[in-house]
Chains A and B, each alone.
Chain A
Amino acid sequence: MPDIVPLFPRGLSKDEESSRPTSSLFDRTMSLDVRGLILEVDGVRLIDGVSAQISGTGRTMIMGPNGAGKSLFLRLINGLLEPTRGNVFWNDMPISDALRRRQAMVFQRPVLLRRSVKDNMDFAFRVGTPAIGLVGGTVDEVRRDALLERVGLCGRHDQPARLLSGGEQQRLALARALIKEPDVLLLDEATASLDPASVLMIEEIVNEVQALGTKIIFVTHDLGQARRLGDEIIFMHKGKILEQTDADQFFAQPQSEAAKDYLAGRIIL
Protein backbone atom coordinates (compact mmCIF):
# COMPACT_ATOMS: atom_id res chain seq x y z
CA MET A 1 0.00 0.00 0.00
CA PRO A 2 1.77 3.19 -1.13
CA ASP A 3 1.89 6.22 1.14
CA ILE A 4 -0.77 8.77 0.34
CA VAL A 5 0.76 12.17 -0.38
CA PRO A 6 -1.62 14.95 0.64
CA LEU A 7 -2.42 17.78 -1.73
CA PHE A 8 -0.98 20.23 0.77
CA PRO A 9 1.72 18.70 2.95
CA ARG A 10 1.46 21.57 5.38
CA GLY A 11 2.09 20.94 9.00
CA LEU A 12 5.15 22.44 10.52
CA SER A 13 7.15 20.85 13.29
CA LYS A 14 6.52 22.25 16.75
CA ASP A 15 9.77 24.20 16.56
CA GLU A 16 8.84 25.65 13.19
CA GLU A 17 5.34 26.45 14.39
CA SER A 18 6.62 28.29 17.44
CA SER A 19 9.15 30.24 15.39
CA ARG A 20 6.56 31.20 12.81
CA PRO A 21 5.83 34.95 12.87
CA THR A 22 2.43 35.86 14.18
CA SER A 23 1.80 38.95 12.05
CA SER A 24 -1.20 38.92 9.78
CA LEU A 25 1.10 38.44 6.76
CA PHE A 26 1.47 34.84 7.86
CA ASP A 27 -2.13 34.17 8.79
CA ARG A 28 -3.43 31.17 6.89
CA THR A 29 -6.77 32.91 6.45
CA MET A 30 -6.74 35.80 4.04
CA SER A 31 -9.79 38.01 4.13
CA LEU A 32 -10.35 40.54 1.41
CA ASP A 33 -11.49 44.11 1.79
CA VAL A 34 -12.15 46.08 -1.38
CA ARG A 35 -12.90 49.77 -1.07
CA GLY A 36 -14.29 52.01 -3.80
CA LEU A 37 -12.63 50.13 -6.62
CA ILE A 38 -12.79 51.89 -9.98
CA LEU A 39 -11.18 50.78 -13.22
CA GLU A 40 -11.30 53.01 -16.27
CA VAL A 41 -9.80 52.17 -19.64
CA ASP A 42 -9.72 54.87 -22.32
CA GLY A 43 -12.27 56.85 -20.35
CA VAL A 44 -14.70 53.94 -20.12
CA ARG A 45 -15.55 52.85 -16.57
CA LEU A 46 -15.38 49.07 -16.45
CA ILE A 47 -15.45 48.63 -12.67
CA ASP A 48 -17.62 51.21 -11.04
CA GLY A 49 -16.96 51.90 -7.38
CA VAL A 50 -16.96 48.34 -6.10
CA SER A 51 -16.69 47.79 -2.36
CA ALA A 52 -16.88 44.38 -0.76
CA GLN A 53 -15.63 42.30 2.10
CA ILE A 54 -14.94 38.66 1.46
CA SER A 55 -14.15 36.30 4.30
CA GLY A 56 -11.01 34.21 4.22
CA THR A 57 -12.81 30.89 4.22
CA GLY A 58 -15.27 29.04 2.02
CA ARG A 59 -16.08 29.34 -1.65
CA THR A 60 -17.17 32.64 -3.13
CA MET A 61 -18.64 32.45 -6.59
CA ILE A 62 -18.62 35.58 -8.73
CA MET A 63 -21.43 35.56 -11.26
CA GLY A 64 -22.99 37.90 -13.75
CA PRO A 65 -23.69 38.32 -17.45
CA ASN A 66 -20.97 38.83 -20.06
CA GLY A 67 -19.24 42.17 -19.66
CA ALA A 68 -20.28 42.51 -16.03
CA GLY A 69 -16.64 42.94 -14.98
CA LYS A 70 -16.21 39.63 -13.13
CA SER A 71 -12.81 38.72 -14.59
CA LEU A 72 -11.57 42.30 -14.24
CA PHE A 73 -12.63 42.28 -10.60
CA LEU A 74 -10.74 39.01 -10.07
CA ARG A 75 -7.63 40.47 -11.69
CA LEU A 76 -7.90 43.60 -9.62
CA ILE A 77 -8.06 41.72 -6.36
CA ASN A 78 -5.09 39.57 -7.38
CA GLY A 79 -3.14 42.67 -8.35
CA LEU A 80 -2.80 41.71 -12.00
CA LEU A 81 -4.50 45.00 -12.80
CA GLU A 82 -3.93 48.35 -11.16
CA PRO A 83 -7.19 50.10 -10.25
CA THR A 84 -7.77 53.66 -11.42
CA ARG A 85 -9.01 54.45 -7.94
CA GLY A 86 -9.77 52.52 -4.79
CA ASN A 87 -7.91 49.99 -2.72
CA VAL A 88 -7.57 46.25 -2.29
CA PHE A 89 -6.59 45.00 1.14
CA TRP A 90 -5.80 41.42 2.09
CA ASN A 91 -5.78 41.02 5.87
CA ASP A 92 -5.80 44.82 6.10
CA MET A 93 -2.64 45.09 4.01
CA PRO A 94 -2.39 46.47 0.50
CA ILE A 95 -1.66 43.89 -2.15
CA SER A 96 2.05 43.15 -2.44
CA ASP A 97 4.30 40.56 -4.07
CA ALA A 98 4.53 38.67 -0.77
CA LEU A 99 0.74 38.48 -0.52
CA ARG A 100 0.35 37.55 -4.16
CA ARG A 101 2.74 34.64 -3.74
CA ARG A 102 0.23 33.22 -1.29
CA GLN A 103 -2.43 33.24 -3.99
CA ALA A 104 -2.73 31.21 -7.14
CA MET A 105 -4.72 31.95 -10.23
CA VAL A 106 -6.13 29.57 -12.82
CA PHE A 107 -7.13 31.27 -16.04
CA GLN A 108 -9.91 30.43 -18.46
CA ARG A 109 -7.34 29.55 -21.11
CA PRO A 110 -4.58 27.66 -19.35
CA VAL A 111 -1.21 29.33 -19.75
CA LEU A 112 1.22 26.48 -20.17
CA LEU A 113 4.90 26.88 -20.84
CA ARG A 114 6.46 25.45 -23.97
CA ARG A 115 7.77 22.54 -21.94
CA SER A 116 6.81 19.07 -20.86
CA VAL A 117 4.17 18.36 -18.21
CA LYS A 118 6.91 17.67 -15.65
CA ASP A 119 8.85 20.82 -16.52
CA ASN A 120 5.71 22.95 -16.16
CA MET A 121 5.29 21.61 -12.66
CA ASP A 122 8.97 21.99 -11.82
CA PHE A 123 8.91 25.59 -12.99
CA ALA A 124 6.28 26.41 -10.38
CA PHE A 125 8.31 24.63 -7.69
CA ARG A 126 11.37 26.68 -8.50
CA VAL A 127 9.71 30.04 -9.06
CA GLY A 128 6.55 30.09 -7.04
CA THR A 129 7.98 29.37 -3.64
CA PRO A 130 5.67 30.32 -0.80
CA ALA A 131 6.36 33.26 1.48
CA ILE A 132 7.58 30.84 4.11
CA GLY A 133 10.00 28.32 2.70
CA LEU A 134 7.97 25.17 3.08
CA VAL A 135 9.09 23.89 -0.27
CA GLY A 136 12.15 25.93 -1.17
CA GLY A 137 13.54 26.35 -4.63
CA THR A 138 14.02 22.68 -5.29
CA VAL A 139 11.57 20.24 -6.80
CA ASP A 140 9.65 17.96 -4.47
CA GLU A 141 9.29 15.07 -6.90
CA VAL A 142 7.05 12.98 -4.64
CA ARG A 143 4.59 15.80 -4.25
CA ARG A 144 4.76 16.71 -7.93
CA ASP A 145 3.92 13.15 -8.89
CA ALA A 146 1.12 13.03 -6.31
CA LEU A 147 -0.43 16.20 -7.71
CA LEU A 148 -0.15 14.93 -11.27
CA GLU A 149 -1.77 11.68 -10.21
CA ARG A 150 -4.57 13.58 -8.49
CA VAL A 151 -5.41 15.47 -11.68
CA GLY A 152 -5.27 12.31 -13.78
CA LEU A 153 -1.96 13.02 -15.48
CA CYS A 154 0.03 10.22 -13.93
CA GLY A 155 2.60 8.85 -16.35
CA ARG A 156 2.31 11.83 -18.67
CA HIS A 157 5.40 13.56 -17.27
CA ASP A 158 7.35 13.77 -20.48
CA GLN A 159 4.51 14.74 -22.78
CA PRO A 160 4.57 18.26 -24.22
CA ALA A 161 2.11 20.22 -22.07
CA ARG A 162 0.67 22.16 -24.98
CA LEU A 163 -0.27 18.98 -26.81
CA LEU A 164 -2.60 17.83 -24.03
CA SER A 165 -6.35 18.13 -24.54
CA GLY A 166 -8.14 21.23 -23.25
CA GLY A 167 -9.36 19.46 -20.12
CA GLU A 168 -5.94 17.97 -19.42
CA GLN A 169 -4.27 21.32 -19.87
CA GLN A 170 -6.62 22.94 -17.39
CA ARG A 171 -6.08 20.14 -14.88
CA LEU A 172 -2.34 20.57 -15.27
CA ALA A 173 -2.73 24.32 -14.71
CA LEU A 174 -4.69 23.57 -11.54
CA ALA A 175 -2.10 21.07 -10.28
CA ARG A 176 0.61 23.62 -10.98
CA ALA A 177 -1.30 26.28 -9.09
CA LEU A 178 -1.58 24.00 -6.07
CA ILE A 179 2.20 23.61 -5.83
CA LYS A 180 2.24 26.99 -4.12
CA GLU A 181 -0.08 25.67 -1.41
CA PRO A 182 -2.05 28.86 -1.92
CA ASP A 183 -4.08 30.45 0.84
CA VAL A 184 -6.37 31.83 -1.85
CA LEU A 185 -7.19 30.09 -5.11
CA LEU A 186 -8.65 32.32 -7.80
CA LEU A 187 -10.33 30.64 -10.75
CA ASP A 188 -11.39 32.64 -13.77
CA GLU A 189 -14.01 30.58 -15.61
CA ALA A 190 -11.59 27.70 -15.24
CA THR A 191 -14.07 25.06 -16.34
CA ALA A 192 -15.62 26.91 -19.27
CA SER A 193 -15.73 24.74 -22.39
CA LEU A 194 -14.41 21.64 -20.63
CA ASP A 195 -15.94 18.19 -20.82
CA PRO A 196 -18.10 17.09 -17.85
CA ALA A 197 -15.47 14.67 -16.51
CA SER A 198 -12.84 17.40 -16.36
CA VAL A 199 -15.34 19.81 -14.78
CA LEU A 200 -16.19 17.22 -12.15
CA MET A 201 -12.55 16.49 -11.36
CA ILE A 202 -11.72 20.19 -11.05
CA GLU A 203 -14.71 20.75 -8.77
CA GLU A 204 -13.68 17.81 -6.58
CA ILE A 205 -10.16 19.16 -6.26
CA VAL A 206 -11.47 22.65 -5.51
CA ASN A 207 -13.56 21.16 -2.71
CA GLU A 208 -10.59 19.23 -1.33
CA VAL A 209 -8.39 22.29 -1.41
CA GLN A 210 -11.08 24.37 0.28
CA ALA A 211 -11.41 21.73 2.98
CA LEU A 212 -7.69 22.14 3.62
CA GLY A 213 -8.30 25.79 4.39
CA THR A 214 -7.75 27.55 1.08
CA LYS A 215 -10.14 30.36 0.22
CA ILE A 216 -11.79 29.83 -3.17
CA ILE A 217 -12.89 32.73 -5.36
CA PHE A 218 -14.40 31.35 -8.53
CA VAL A 219 -15.73 33.30 -11.50
CA THR A 220 -18.31 31.22 -13.31
CA HIS A 221 -21.21 31.45 -15.74
CA ASP A 222 -22.38 27.99 -14.85
CA LEU A 223 -25.44 28.19 -12.59
CA GLY A 224 -25.23 24.49 -11.77
CA GLN A 225 -21.63 24.86 -10.74
CA ALA A 226 -22.41 27.89 -8.59
CA ARG A 227 -25.17 25.90 -6.87
CA ARG A 228 -22.88 22.92 -6.34
CA LEU A 229 -19.86 24.79 -5.07
CA GLY A 230 -20.95 28.20 -3.82
CA ASP A 231 -21.07 29.18 -0.16
CA GLU A 232 -21.40 32.83 -1.07
CA ILE A 233 -22.44 34.54 -4.31
CA ILE A 234 -21.31 37.89 -5.61
CA PHE A 235 -23.52 39.01 -8.47
CA MET A 236 -22.10 41.68 -10.75
CA HIS A 237 -23.65 43.74 -13.49
CA LYS A 238 -22.23 46.68 -15.44
CA GLY A 239 -19.12 46.87 -13.30
CA LYS A 240 -21.00 46.94 -10.00
CA ILE A 241 -21.74 44.41 -7.32
CA LEU A 242 -25.51 44.17 -7.15
CA GLU A 243 -25.67 41.37 -4.61
CA GLN A 244 -23.33 39.68 -2.20
CA THR A 245 -25.13 37.05 -0.23
CA ASP A 246 -25.32 33.48 0.96
CA ALA A 247 -25.63 31.08 -1.97
CA ASP A 248 -28.87 29.44 -0.83
CA GLN A 249 -30.49 32.80 -0.32
CA PHE A 250 -29.31 34.08 -3.69
CA PHE A 251 -30.77 31.18 -5.61
CA ALA A 252 -33.99 31.16 -3.56
CA GLN A 253 -34.63 34.88 -3.40
CA PRO A 254 -32.47 37.07 -5.60
CA GLN A 255 -32.95 40.70 -4.68
CA SER A 256 -32.07 42.60 -7.84
CA GLU A 257 -34.06 42.51 -11.07
CA ALA A 258 -30.87 41.78 -13.00
CA ALA A 259 -30.16 38.72 -10.84
CA LYS A 260 -33.72 37.47 -11.25
CA ASP A 261 -33.45 37.83 -15.03
CA TYR A 262 -30.03 36.17 -15.00
CA LEU A 263 -31.26 33.18 -13.04
CA ALA A 264 -34.31 32.93 -15.27
CA GLY A 265 -32.10 32.86 -18.35
CA ARG A 266 -33.37 36.14 -19.69
CA ILE A 267 -31.11 38.59 -21.51
CA ILE A 268 -30.06 41.39 -19.20
CA LEU A 269 -29.62 44.86 -20.65
Chain B
Amino acid sequence: MQFYWLAGTMQDIGSVLSLAFGLVISGDKDLLEIVGLSLRVSLSALFVSTFIGLVVGALVATQQFCGRTFVKVLLNALMGLPPVVVGLMVYLVLSNAGPLGSLRLLYTPTAMIIAQAILITPIIAALSAQVIETIYAEYKDYFASLAMGRRAIISALLWDGRYGLLTVALAGFGRAIAEVGAIMIVGGNIDHLTRVMTTAIALETSKGDLALAMALGLILITMSIIINAGVMALNLNARRYAYA
Protein backbone atom coordinates (compact mmCIF):
# COMPACT_ATOMS: atom_id res chain seq x y z
CA MET B 1 0.00 0.00 0.00
CA GLN B 2 2.81 2.38 1.03
CA PHE B 3 4.75 1.41 -2.10
CA TYR B 4 1.86 2.43 -4.38
CA TRP B 5 1.52 5.78 -2.54
CA LEU B 6 5.25 6.43 -2.91
CA ALA B 7 5.17 5.49 -6.60
CA GLY B 8 2.24 7.84 -7.17
CA THR B 9 3.98 10.66 -5.35
CA MET B 10 7.19 10.16 -7.33
CA GLN B 11 5.18 10.23 -10.53
CA ASP B 12 3.54 13.51 -9.40
CA ILE B 13 6.90 15.08 -8.60
CA GLY B 14 8.25 13.82 -11.89
CA SER B 15 5.41 15.33 -13.90
CA VAL B 16 5.60 18.60 -11.95
CA LEU B 17 9.34 18.79 -12.57
CA SER B 18 8.91 18.10 -16.27
CA LEU B 19 6.22 20.79 -16.50
CA ALA B 20 8.47 23.15 -14.55
CA PHE B 21 11.42 22.53 -16.85
CA GLY B 22 9.08 23.06 -19.81
CA LEU B 23 8.10 26.47 -18.44
CA VAL B 24 11.71 27.46 -17.87
CA ILE B 25 12.91 26.29 -21.27
CA SER B 26 9.99 27.81 -23.17
CA GLY B 27 10.72 31.16 -21.50
CA ASP B 28 7.16 31.57 -20.22
CA LYS B 29 6.28 35.27 -20.27
CA ASP B 30 4.69 35.34 -16.80
CA LEU B 31 7.62 33.45 -15.38
CA LEU B 32 10.17 35.84 -16.87
CA GLU B 33 8.18 38.84 -15.64
CA ILE B 34 8.20 37.49 -12.09
CA VAL B 35 11.90 36.66 -12.23
CA GLY B 36 12.69 40.08 -13.65
CA LEU B 37 10.78 41.92 -10.94
CA SER B 38 12.41 39.77 -8.24
CA LEU B 39 15.84 40.68 -9.52
CA ARG B 40 14.95 44.34 -9.89
CA VAL B 41 13.58 44.59 -6.35
CA SER B 42 16.35 42.57 -4.67
CA LEU B 43 19.22 44.17 -6.59
CA SER B 44 17.83 47.66 -5.89
CA ALA B 45 17.53 46.82 -2.19
CA LEU B 46 21.05 45.40 -2.28
CA PHE B 47 22.41 48.54 -3.94
CA VAL B 48 20.87 50.81 -1.30
CA SER B 49 21.85 48.54 1.59
CA THR B 50 25.40 48.05 0.36
CA PHE B 51 25.93 51.78 0.16
CA ILE B 52 24.57 52.41 3.66
CA GLY B 53 25.91 49.19 5.16
CA LEU B 54 29.47 49.65 3.94
CA VAL B 55 29.65 53.21 5.22
CA VAL B 56 28.23 52.20 8.61
CA GLY B 57 30.42 49.09 8.75
CA ALA B 58 33.56 51.02 7.85
CA LEU B 59 32.87 53.71 10.43
CA VAL B 60 32.17 51.17 13.15
CA ALA B 61 35.32 49.25 12.24
CA THR B 62 37.69 52.21 12.08
CA GLN B 63 36.39 54.92 14.40
CA GLN B 64 36.45 55.07 18.15
CA PHE B 65 33.32 56.73 19.50
CA CYS B 66 31.12 56.61 22.55
CA GLY B 67 28.61 53.76 22.23
CA ARG B 68 30.60 51.87 19.58
CA THR B 69 30.15 48.54 21.35
CA PHE B 70 26.42 49.20 21.67
CA VAL B 71 26.19 49.92 17.93
CA LYS B 72 28.02 46.67 17.16
CA VAL B 73 25.70 44.68 19.44
CA LEU B 74 22.68 46.41 17.91
CA LEU B 75 23.81 45.66 14.35
CA ASN B 76 24.39 42.03 15.21
CA ALA B 77 20.99 41.82 16.86
CA LEU B 78 19.27 43.46 13.88
CA MET B 79 20.72 40.81 11.57
CA GLY B 80 17.95 38.56 12.80
CA LEU B 81 15.10 41.02 12.23
CA PRO B 82 11.83 39.10 11.72
CA PRO B 83 10.69 39.90 8.14
CA VAL B 84 7.00 40.05 9.00
CA VAL B 85 7.68 42.60 11.74
CA VAL B 86 9.68 44.72 9.27
CA GLY B 87 6.86 44.31 6.77
CA LEU B 88 4.32 45.41 9.35
CA MET B 89 6.39 48.47 10.33
CA VAL B 90 6.92 49.53 6.72
CA TYR B 91 3.19 48.93 6.10
CA LEU B 92 2.27 51.22 9.01
CA VAL B 93 4.62 53.94 7.79
CA LEU B 94 3.50 53.75 4.15
CA SER B 95 -0.22 53.15 4.67
CA ASN B 96 -2.60 56.04 4.08
CA ALA B 97 -2.77 56.78 7.79
CA GLY B 98 1.02 56.55 8.18
CA PRO B 99 3.56 59.39 8.09
CA LEU B 100 4.59 58.61 4.50
CA GLY B 101 1.13 57.63 3.30
CA SER B 102 0.91 60.63 1.00
CA LEU B 103 3.73 59.15 -1.12
CA ARG B 104 1.37 56.31 -2.11
CA LEU B 105 4.14 53.74 -2.11
CA LEU B 106 2.26 50.88 -0.50
CA TYR B 107 1.76 47.90 -2.83
CA THR B 108 4.47 49.09 -5.19
CA PRO B 109 7.90 47.62 -5.93
CA THR B 110 9.41 50.64 -4.14
CA ALA B 111 7.75 49.57 -0.89
CA MET B 112 9.21 46.10 -1.38
CA ILE B 113 12.66 47.58 -1.98
CA ILE B 114 12.38 49.61 1.22
CA ALA B 115 11.36 46.55 3.24
CA GLN B 116 14.15 44.41 1.84
CA ALA B 117 16.70 47.18 2.31
CA ILE B 118 15.73 47.52 5.97
CA LEU B 119 16.13 43.79 6.39
CA ILE B 120 19.55 43.45 4.81
CA THR B 121 21.27 46.71 5.76
CA PRO B 122 22.14 45.46 9.29
CA ILE B 123 23.49 42.22 7.77
CA ILE B 124 25.77 44.08 5.40
CA ALA B 125 26.81 46.62 8.03
CA ALA B 126 27.60 44.02 10.72
CA LEU B 127 29.43 41.60 8.43
CA SER B 128 31.36 44.31 6.59
CA ALA B 129 32.41 45.80 9.95
CA GLN B 130 33.95 42.43 10.81
CA VAL B 131 35.76 42.15 7.46
CA ILE B 132 37.08 45.72 7.60
CA GLU B 133 38.04 45.49 11.28
CA THR B 134 40.24 42.46 10.57
CA ILE B 135 42.11 44.25 7.79
CA TYR B 136 42.32 47.51 9.73
CA ALA B 137 43.93 45.73 12.68
CA GLU B 138 46.74 44.77 10.30
CA TYR B 139 47.06 48.08 8.48
CA LYS B 140 46.41 50.48 11.35
CA ASP B 141 50.00 51.29 12.26
CA TYR B 142 51.06 51.72 8.65
CA PHE B 143 48.17 54.04 7.87
CA ALA B 144 48.80 55.98 11.05
CA SER B 145 52.48 56.37 10.14
CA LEU B 146 51.37 57.88 6.83
CA ALA B 147 49.07 60.29 8.70
CA MET B 148 46.26 59.31 6.37
CA GLY B 149 42.86 60.93 6.59
CA ARG B 150 39.67 59.07 7.45
CA ARG B 151 38.35 59.00 3.89
CA ALA B 152 41.62 57.68 2.47
CA ILE B 153 41.77 54.98 5.15
CA ILE B 154 38.23 53.83 4.52
CA SER B 155 38.60 53.74 0.74
CA ALA B 156 41.85 51.75 1.03
CA LEU B 157 40.21 49.28 3.42
CA LEU B 158 37.16 48.87 1.20
CA TRP B 159 39.40 48.19 -1.79
CA ASP B 160 41.60 45.68 0.02
CA GLY B 161 38.56 44.02 1.58
CA ARG B 162 36.64 43.83 -1.69
CA TYR B 163 36.61 40.04 -1.93
CA GLY B 164 35.34 39.58 1.60
CA LEU B 165 32.85 42.38 1.10
CA LEU B 166 31.57 40.75 -2.07
CA THR B 167 30.70 37.70 0.00
CA VAL B 168 28.97 40.00 2.47
CA ALA B 169 26.92 41.55 -0.33
CA LEU B 170 26.06 38.07 -1.53
CA ALA B 171 24.77 37.16 1.92
CA GLY B 172 22.57 40.25 1.78
CA PHE B 173 21.33 39.40 -1.70
CA GLY B 174 20.56 35.84 -0.62
CA ARG B 175 18.50 37.11 2.27
CA ALA B 176 16.69 39.64 0.04
CA ILE B 177 15.80 37.37 -2.86
CA ALA B 178 14.57 34.58 -0.56
CA GLU B 179 12.46 36.90 1.58
CA VAL B 180 8.69 36.49 1.49
CA GLY B 181 7.05 37.79 4.70
CA ALA B 182 7.81 41.50 4.48
CA ILE B 183 7.27 41.91 0.73
CA MET B 184 4.01 39.99 0.90
CA ILE B 185 2.72 42.55 3.42
CA VAL B 186 3.96 45.73 1.72
CA GLY B 187 3.76 44.50 -1.89
CA GLY B 188 0.50 42.61 -1.70
CA ASN B 189 1.56 40.02 -4.31
CA ILE B 190 -0.36 41.81 -7.07
CA ASP B 191 -0.18 40.09 -10.45
CA HIS B 192 1.98 41.96 -13.01
CA LEU B 193 2.82 44.59 -10.42
CA THR B 194 4.38 43.28 -7.20
CA ARG B 195 4.49 39.53 -7.69
CA VAL B 196 7.98 38.19 -7.16
CA MET B 197 9.37 34.66 -7.07
CA THR B 198 8.86 33.91 -3.40
CA THR B 199 5.35 35.36 -3.13
CA ALA B 200 4.39 33.64 -6.39
CA ILE B 201 5.67 30.29 -5.10
CA ALA B 202 3.59 30.71 -1.94
CA LEU B 203 0.48 31.65 -3.96
CA GLU B 204 0.81 29.02 -6.69
CA THR B 205 1.44 26.30 -4.12
CA SER B 206 -1.72 27.26 -2.25
CA LYS B 207 -3.64 27.21 -5.56
CA GLY B 208 -2.21 23.81 -6.45
CA ASP B 209 -0.31 25.05 -9.54
CA LEU B 210 2.82 23.25 -8.53
CA ALA B 211 4.49 23.46 -11.96
CA LEU B 212 4.87 27.26 -11.89
CA ALA B 213 5.88 27.18 -8.22
CA MET B 214 8.46 24.50 -8.93
CA ALA B 215 9.77 26.35 -12.01
CA LEU B 216 10.29 29.47 -9.91
CA GLY B 217 11.91 27.39 -7.19
CA LEU B 218 14.30 25.87 -9.73
CA ILE B 219 15.26 29.30 -11.01
CA LEU B 220 15.76 30.59 -7.47
CA ILE B 221 18.01 27.69 -6.54
CA THR B 222 19.95 27.79 -9.82
CA MET B 223 20.51 31.51 -9.45
CA SER B 224 21.72 31.01 -5.90
CA ILE B 225 24.15 28.26 -6.93
CA ILE B 226 25.55 30.24 -9.87
CA ILE B 227 26.10 33.42 -7.84
CA ASN B 228 27.63 31.52 -4.91
CA ALA B 229 29.90 29.53 -7.19
CA GLY B 230 31.04 32.69 -8.94
CA VAL B 231 31.86 34.50 -5.72
CA MET B 232 33.54 31.42 -4.27
CA ALA B 233 35.71 31.07 -7.38
CA LEU B 234 36.63 34.73 -7.14
CA ASN B 235 37.51 34.37 -3.47
CA LEU B 236 39.57 31.23 -4.02
CA ASN B 237 41.49 32.97 -6.76
CA ALA B 238 42.04 36.01 -4.55
CA ARG B 239 43.20 33.82 -1.66
CA ARG B 240 45.66 32.06 -3.95
CA TYR B 241 47.30 35.43 -4.54
CA ALA B 242 46.94 36.47 -0.88
CA TYR B 243 44.59 39.28 -1.88
CA ALA B 244 41.71 38.04 0.30
Contact = CB atoms under 8 A, between A and B. Distances in A.
Interface of A: 75, 78-80, 97-98, 100-101, 103-105, 107, 111, 113-115, 123-124, 127-128, 160-163
Contacts of A105: 141-142, 145
Interface string B221-244: 000000000000000000001111
A160 B241 contact: yes
Interface of B: 135, 138-139, 141-142, 144-148, 152, 156, 160, 241-244
Contacts of A100: 145-147
Nearest to A186: B145
Contacts of A127: 146, 148, 152, 156
Q: Can you list the 10 inter-chain pairs with the closest CB atoms, starting with the nearest?
A: A162-B242, A97-B147, A111-B142, A105-B145, A160-B241, A100-B147, A114-B160, A114-B243, A128-B146, A160-B242
A113 B144 contact: no
Contacts of B138: 111
Nearest to A177: B145
Given A115-B160, A127-B152, A78 B242 contact: no
B158 to A, nearest CB: 12
A113 B160 contact: yes
A111 B160 CA distance: 13
A163 B242 contact: yes
Contacts of A107: 141-142
Contacts of B244: 114
Contacts of B160: 113-115
Contact of A160 (B142, B144, B243): B243
B141 A113 contact: no
Q: What DSSP secondary structure best describes chain B's contact surface? A: helix
Contacts of A80: 141, 144-145
A103 B145 contact: yes
B51 to A, nearest CB: 23
A123 B160 CA distance: 12
A171 B244 CA distance: 22
A102 to B, nearest CB: 10
Nearest to B160: A114
10 contacts: A75-B141, A79-B144, A80-B141, A97-B147, A105-B145, A111-B138, A111-B141, A111-B142, A114-B160, A128-B146
B236 to A, nearest CB: 14
B8 to A, nearest CB: 57
Nearest to A81: B144
Contacts of B146: 100-101, 124, 127-128
Contacts of A163: 241-242
A218 to B, nearest CB: 15
A107 B141 CA distance: 9
A115 B156 CA distance: 11
A111 B139 contact: yes
A80 B142 CA distance: 9
A114 B242 contact: yes
A160 B241 CA distance: 6
B144 to A, nearest CB: 5
A231 to B, nearest CB: 23
Contacts of B242: 114, 160-163
Contacts of A124: 146
B39 to A, nearest CB: 31
Nearest to A75: B141
Contacts of A162: 242-243
A104 to B, nearest CB: 7
A104 B152 contact: no
Contacts of B152: 127
A127 B160 CA distance: 15
Given A107-B142, A127-B152, A128-B146, 12 more contacts: A80-B141, A80-B144, A80-B145, A97-B147, A111-B139, A111-B142, A113-B139, A113-B156, A114-B160, A114-B243, A160-B242, A162-B243
